Amino acid sequence: MTFKTTALEKRNWTMVKIAEEKYDHLMIKIINSCTTSDILEELTTLIFDKAILDPTFCPMYAKLCSDICDKLPTFQPTEPGARIVSFKKVLYNLCQSVFEGAEEIKELRVYPSDQKEKEMMLKLQTLGNIRFIGELRNQKVMLERIAHHIIVVLLGADEKICPPEENVEALCLFLKTIGKKPLRSKWINYAYLSHLKTVSNHPQLVTPQKYMIWETINYLRFNGWP
């Protein structure tokens, strides 16, 4: 058994026990076990996978990312011309990959009719990723411009076109996740809510989605959005 395998197994146990033992002690264990770029990437993937599939502990994993991102080492790339390997960069790439991959599948509507479980897993991963990005933004790990990008993509550019139901659900989840910490620009916040209100009145939008949007708007305004 290699050192890498041993380290990964140890960290996997650590992530399982993270809610049961002292947080600071476990954080030090994670940092100390990260000794190569391969282990760093595996560690980041492990945290990411657990965060998006376990909504109960998603805020805790986001806090963990905030606490360790500047403490973990960076590594020189193994290939010429490649970028330095860092925890934050690997994390960004994972979030971006799931978000953009879900959008591509939505556009193509490639849902195997005999594999409903895959469709449910896609939804779970998509919503989990959206929630995790929101929590990372709250912890100032994810940049503000990424939050804007997600909102714009999910809302759609044309107010006359009704967004897909899955986009509405993901958007409402994202806005409620970041809702207690409004985006810095009041004018942009107002524009988003105005667009969202227009979507709520679209004749093609089903009633449950309308209620979801109204509930989200009320929540945001309660937390100081214009």
CA-to-CA distance for 23 and 28, rounded, in angstroms? 9
What are the pLDDT digits (tens) for 118-140? Answer: 777 788 889 999 999 999 999 99
With bands split at pLDDT 50, 70 and 90, how would you rate the model's confidence at 114?
A: low
CA distances from 44 to 12, 155, 162 (A): 11, 29, 36
Average pLDDT over residues 139-166: 92
Domains of the chain: 1-142 (1.25.40.180), 157-226 (no CATH)
More confident of the two residues 106 and 41: 41
Distance CA 225, CA 142 (A): 20
Q: Calculate mean pLDDT across residues 129-156.
A: 95
What is the pTM assigned to this prediction? 0.85
Which helix (H) or strand (E) segment holds residue 222: the answer is helix 207-222
Closest CA to 73 of 40, 103, 113: 40
Instruction: Indicate if the alpha-carbon torsion angle 20, 25, 26, 29 is positive or negative.
Output: negative
DSSP bridge pairs for 154: none
